[in-house]
Each structure stands twice: as C-alpha cells, then as structure tokens.
Amino acid sequence: MINLKRTLAISVIAALLAALMCACAPANAATISAPGFHVSAYNKNNKVDAYWPSDPVKCDLVLDGEIVEGDAASLKRDFEKIVGTFNSFSFFLCLRSGGGSTSEALKIAEFVLETQRPSIATVVEDGQTCASACALVFLAGNAPARKGAWPQRFLHPRARLLFHSSRVNLDKYSDDALLLYLTAAASQKNLKETVTGLYKSGLRDVQSIMSTFKKEVYETENLSGPWVPPSLFLEMFSQDPEEWVCVDTIDAIGRWNIQAFGYSPPKALSSQNYLNVCHSAYNWRLDRFVADDDSNDNDAGKIAVKTVKPKKQKNQDPEFDVQYRLPYQAPLLPLTCSIKVRYGDSGVLDQEADLEVSFEGGTALVSRLNSTAFFSAEKLLWDFGNEEPAKADAGAEKSFASYPNSQMNGCTFKNIKGVDEKACQSACSRDAMCAAYSHSKLTSLCELKHTLTARRLDPTRTSGVPSEVKSIESSREVRMKFKTLEDGKRLRGSVISSVKINDDSGNQGELCSSSCQLDSSCLAADIESGSSLCRKLSSVDGLTAAPANQAVDTYVKSQQ
C-alpha cells in the first residue's frame, strides 16, 4: 500500500529544495541595462574623463535589484552592445543592489575582472546602496595599468557599501516547511549528511570568494599588493550573520583601496594634512586601521604637528607635478616620508590626483593613494561629500528601545559631539535616514547609523533602535580589551571589589583583566600601577579623576 503521508512529505521536500536551489528570477530580480551614457559623452566631447566618474554619474551599465542566475550572461550581452573598438577606457558599471546570489555575483565579478582594455570600473552612486553579494561585484572594478589592470572601484561619500559573511537565507520559508524537510531527512537516516551538506555549501561560498580575488596587482616592483587586502575578507567572515561591515570612513576606503568621488580635497593644505597622508600610508600598508587602538605602536607617527615642515623638492620626478618630504617617527626609528603628487586634468589638487608615498630610512615600499588621504583617517565619508540634497524630516519623534552596554559597529553617517543619550536618541528620531544610534558614556559622542546591525557588548556605550524594530545581539567572542582613557581619568561605575594583586612578575594588569574575564558579573576592570589595586566594575557610567600620582590601566569586556 502506498504511504500517502511519506509521498506527500517527499513531494513537499522536493518542492522546498527546488525553491532553495531554484534559479528562477524572483519578482524583484535585477534589471540589467546598458545606457552607455559615459562612452557616448566621451565620444561627443574628448574633455569627458575616460577614467573618473562625474557626479551625478554617467552610467554605461546598470545593475539594479536582486542578483539572480542569468544576470552575468545578461550583463555580458549588454556590454557587447556598447563596447565598440576602445582600448584604454573605463566603462562605468553602476551598482544598485541589496545582494542576491553569491555564485552569480562571483560570475559577474569574474567577467569584470577579465575585461581589461577597455575595462569596467564599478560605481556606487550618491544615495544608492550596494550590499552583500553586490559588494563582491564592486570589488572587481578595474582600470588599465602599466601591466594588466589596477583596482578601480568608486564610492560616493553618501553611498552605502556593506559587506557581510555568507549565509543561507531561509527568510522566505516557513518553520513548518523546514521542519518537514529535516524530519524527512532524519527518517531516511541522512540528517547528518544533510546538515553537513549545508555547512559545506557555506564553505564553498567562502572558498569561491577567496579564489576569485586571489591575484596580485603590480604597478612597479615596489608598488604592488593584493587585489583585495586580506583584512577585508577576515572582517567579513568574522561577522555574525546579522552584522555588516560598513565602509563609512576615510580609514576604510584607504585601507581597502577604494576610490571616493563627488568630493573636494582640502583647499589649503596644512602641516596636519601632510602628516595625515604619511600616518595613513604607514598603517594602510600594514593593512590596519589608523584608528585601531589595539595597535600598541599606532601613535608612533603622531609627532607634534608644529614640528612637521614639508619641504618642496627641487628635482622633481618627471611623472609627478610636485614632491614633498617631511620627518616621520616610526615605532622603532625616525624615517623621512616622501609624498609625490600627480594632479588630475585640472592641473590642481582635485579628487583625481594620485599620490605615491614612500619612507626613506627603513623601507623602499611605495603606497599609491588618492587625495582623500589628506583628510583625517577617522573622518566620516558623509562629512566631505559635495553639497548634500535636502533630506526629508522623519516627522513626529519615534519611541526607542535603549540597550545599555552595547555598541552598533560602523554604518555611521553623522557624529554629534557633547550630547547626552536623550539628545542622541532625539536626533536619531528626527532624522529620516537614522536607523539606530550609539552613544558613548565616556566622550558624549552620539553616532547616528544609516543601517541596523547586530549589537556588540561594550560597557562604555548605549545603543538604541526604534521600538518596533527587532534588535539582534552579536554572537562574537567576548574578551577583555585594553582601553585608553584621557590622562588622569579612570572609569566611574559600580565597583564589585577592590583587591591588591601581589605579583612580582609584572603581570598585575593581565591578572586583573583575567579575573574580570572569568567573573560573569564583571564588565570592566582597572589596576593602579603604584598600589597594584585591582578594581572590578559591574557597570560603567562615565569617567572620574584617577588617584593623584597613579597611572591606571583599564580593561573593558567587549566583543571585537
């Protein structure tokens, strides 16, 4: 007799698997078009830049919507309609997508990477979003170099570029359907194989992403590097599935070799601007953030600005318009920082200017930067774009859920200094773009977020989201982090205990930190250098004065 229940279950499973693996385009599948605006304008007027986008962008190709199977083939067909007989030229692929199929995005990325002379540069325009699988396509953008191609991916300061770890998206499927699928797998004694298969599928995504971009870029022997700095992928794959890596600062675009457009460089360069270039070049070459306070030697280059006297050189490299040299204090020895500037077609410092930075006295390696490097690395991208269009007000203030001891990492579009949490919440409520906020208890800095991301443990901050929005906690590892405070300050909060640590090995700080790490009620700890008194705190409320003549080392339990 036919087992109808089993037959039905198998039918439902087959339908579910077909839906999970289906190549059918959903209703909001990407629209691929080839308006050819940039190449048409270039043909009509040779003053149009062949390699740098205008603002607004004259798009040659547009990918708009969810990326699904078949989009790579569509893009190739449309590109063939406009490619013509160009050799050295960059067609602009404008990306407006929240993501989609990782495998199809990598097919598009491979096509873009392979298209050289002419090349395809990727662009995210003012107000547009490129997230998830779309961000992988973005990384493939390139322009002709002396040998092969050079990464050329353009981000407007008010665009959103978001990366996250690969995941299986089951949002479209009910719990009942998934339960039926797993129950049937268990009844057929292949549940382990089914779960293992899902895990392997996720690993294949990671492997495919790494292999697609596993290539070196060579401009000269001492000016080379990976197509994508390894830290970007490390940061991507270390994320909770609900977290985002947001490219929202000068630090991020510089470290990850992304070009900004739609901005103006500083009109008058100060000593601080030149020091910014040297300090950023030194750190980005090591593939680390300038603002990363985990790095013990990261303050080495921050010598007093008044001692920096950039000297214009008499004997210029013929490939550059101007060259400057200035002292730079590296962690172990003093160096001389050399900045060569090649202006754009305008003949002055503009967004198209190229910078080559090298350090004499310790290394021959050269970094290639854009004029954004003259800004402070901590500067938000949103702060330096060309004139911003008027924004719609959010209307009546919304109610918020406040989450103490939490931080939403990245995705910041506006900083407000010197306000309390209530004012921070009010500012977010009134701004139509604001999806969440994070407020520092130590510095009174309010960060407004354009994208909701998972909350990480950070006792020095409070975050908030609209009450009707579900807020997700990050699953990242919790550990102790050394925290640099203002001179003469220590944390203020509820003290669990104060115990003197008797240890002659010089590890008092580590022992104090470890004690807090093992105590579930402890969120922060500090230790006085002179008295070896270790305090453990169950809450952090702000800063207070440290004991006179006592240096205090501070540790905070957080998710990195």
Tens digits of per-residue pLDDT, 473-503? Answer: 998 899 999 999 998 999 999 999 999 998 7
Averaged pLDDT, 403-410: 93
How does pLDDT run across 537-549, given as a tens digit for each residue? 999 999 999 998 8
Q: What is the DSSP string of 290-359?
A: TT-TT-TTTTTT---GGG---EE-SS--TT-SEEEEEEEE-SSSEEEEEEEEE--TTSSS-TT-EEEEEE
> What is the pLDDT, as a whole number, of residue 449?
97
Res. 279: pLDDT tops 90:
yes
At residue 374, the 3 state secondary structure works out as: helix
- Burial of residue 102, with CB atoms counted within 10 A of its CB: 0-12 exposed, 13-18 middle, 19 or more buried: buried
Averaged pLDDT, 200-226: 83
Cβ atoms 281, 305 nearer than 8 A: no
Please provide residue 525's backbone torsions phi and psi, each rounded to the nearest 5 degrees: -150, 155
Secondary structure letter of residue 343 according to DSSP: -
Residues above pLDDT 90, as percent of the chain: 59
Please provide residue 422's backbone torsions phi and psi, each rounded to the nearest 5 degrees: -60, -45
Amino acid at 362: G
Spatial distance between the Cα atoms of 245 and 164, rounded to a whole number of angstroms: 6
pLDDT band at 136 (very low <50, low <70, confident <90, very high): very high
Amino acid at 61: L
Determine how β-strand 455-466 pairs with β-strand 524-528.
Answer: unpaired
Q: How far apart are the first and last CA of the chain?
A: 59
Q: By mean pLDDT, which of 120-129, 150-159, 329-338, 347-356 is the weakest?
A: 329-338
> What is the pLDDT, as a whole number, of residue 41?
95
The angle subtended at Cα 301 by Cα 350 and Cα 293, nearest 5°, is 100
Spatial distance between the Cα atoms of 93 and 123, rounded to a whole number of angstroms: 6
Cβ atoms 404, 425 nearer than 8 A: no
Most confident of 307-311, 331-335, 432-436: 432-436
pLDDT band at 222 (very low <50, low <70, confident <90, very high): confident
> What is the pLDDT, as a whole number, of residue 363?
59
Res. 1: pLDDT tops 50:
no
> What is the pLDDT, as a whole number, of residue 494?
97
Q: How far is CA 418 from CA 350, 422, 426, in A?
A: 33, 12, 14
- The tokens describing 335, both together, are 């160096």
How does pLDDT run across 20-71, given as a tens digit for each residue? 443 333 446 789 999 999 999 999 987 899 999 999 999 999 999 999 999 9
Cβ-proximal residues to 243 (8 Å cutoff; 6+ apart), any chain: 164, 165, 409, 453, 454, 474, 476
> What is the pLDDT, as a whole number, of residue 537?
98
Res. 19: pLDDT tops 70:
no
Res. 188: pLDDT tops 60:
yes
At residue 349, the 3 state secondary structure works out as: coil
Q: Which residue has better confidence, 189 or 362?
A: 189
Which pairs from 214-217 meet CB under 8 Å and 24+ separation? Answer: 215/113, 217/145, 217/148, 217/149, 217/150, 217/151
Res. 308: pLDDT tops 90:
no
Spatial distance between the Cα atoms of 442 and 293, rounded to a whole number of angstroms: 16
Cβ atoms 154, 125 nearer than 8 A: no
Res. 180: pLDDT tops 70:
yes
Q: By mean pLDDT, which of 161-170, 294-303, 355-364, 447-456 is the weakest?
A: 294-303
Q: Which residue has better confidence, 531 or 202?
A: 531
CB neighbours of residue 112 within 10 Å: 27
- Burial of residue 502, with CB atoms counted within 10 A of its CB: 0-12 exposed, 13-18 middle, 19 or more buried: exposed
Averaged pLDDT, 217-226: 79
Spatial distance between the Cα atoms of 276 and 266, rounded to a whole number of angstroms: 12
> What is the pLDDT, as a whole number, of residue 224?
83
Residues above pLDDT 70, as percent of the chain: 87
Res. 18: pLDDT tops 60:
no
> What is the pLDDT, as a whole number, of residue 4?
35
pLDDT band at 13 (very low <50, low <70, confident <90, very high): very low
What's the half-sphere exposure (Cβ side, CA atoms, 13 Å) at 548? Answer: 0
> What is the pLDDT, as a whole number, of residue 394?
64
Cβ atoms 149, 116 nearer than 8 A: yes
Spatial distance between the Cα atoms of 44 and 272, rounded to a whole number of angstroms: 42
At residue 357, the 3 state secondary structure works out as: strand
> What is the pLDDT, as a whole number, of residue 25?
39
On average, the pLDDT of the chain sits at 86
Res. 175: pLDDT tops 70:
yes
pLDDT band at 439 (very low <50, low <70, confident <90, very high): very high
CB neighbours of residue 330 within 10 Å: 17
Averaged pLDDT, 182-202: 76
Res. 305: pLDDT tops 80:
no
Q: By mean pLDDT, which of 71-85, 282-296, 316-330 is the weakest?
A: 282-296
pLDDT band at 5 (very low <50, low <70, confident <90, very high): very low
Cβ-proximal residues to 481 (8 Å cutoff; 6+ apart), any chain: 294, 555, 556, 557, 558, 560
**Which 3-state string (H, E, C) describes 482-502?**
EECCCCCEEEECCEEEEEECC
Domains of the chain: residue spans and CATH:
31-167+211-247 (3.90.226), 271-377 (no CATH), 400-466 (3.50.4.10), 478-559 (3.50.4.10)
Secondary structure letter of residue 352 according to DSSP: T
Question: Which of 470, 443, 434, 468 is closest to 454 using CA atoms?
Answer: 470
pLDDT band at 302 (very low <50, low <70, confident <90, very high): low
> What is the pLDDT, as a whole number, of residue 313?
66
Spatial distance between the Cα atoms of 289 and 410, rounded to a whole number of angstroms: 13
Secondary structure letter of residue 77 according to DSSP: H
At residue 7, the 3 state secondary structure works out as: helix
Spatial distance between the Cα atoms of 109 and 115, rounded to a whole number of angstroms: 10
Averaged pLDDT, 434-443: 96
Spatial distance between the Cα atoms of 414 and 426, rounded to a whole number of angstroms: 14
Spatial distance between the Cα atoms of 537 and 524, rounded to a whole number of angstroms: 5
pLDDT band at 200 (very low <50, low <70, confident <90, very high): confident
Cβ-proximal residues to 390 (8 Å cutoff; 6+ apart), any chain: none
> What is the pLDDT, as a whole number, of residue 496?
96
Spatial distance between the Cα atoms of 119 and 150, rounded to a whole number of angstroms: 10
Averaged pLDDT, 507-535: 94
How does pLDDT run across 68-114, given as a tens digit for each residue? 999 999 999 999 999 988 888 999 999 999 999 999 999 999 999 99
Q: Which residue has better confidence, 135 or 181?
A: 135
Res. 347: pLDDT tops 60:
yes
Averaged pLDDT, 1-15: 41
Q: Considering the entire predicted model, what is its pTM?
A: 0.88
Task: Please report, to the nearest 10 degrees, the dihedral formed by the alpha carbons of residues 477, 252, 373, 340 taken in order.
Answer: 90
Q: By mean pLDDT, which of 45-54, 256-265, 381-390 is the weakest?
A: 381-390
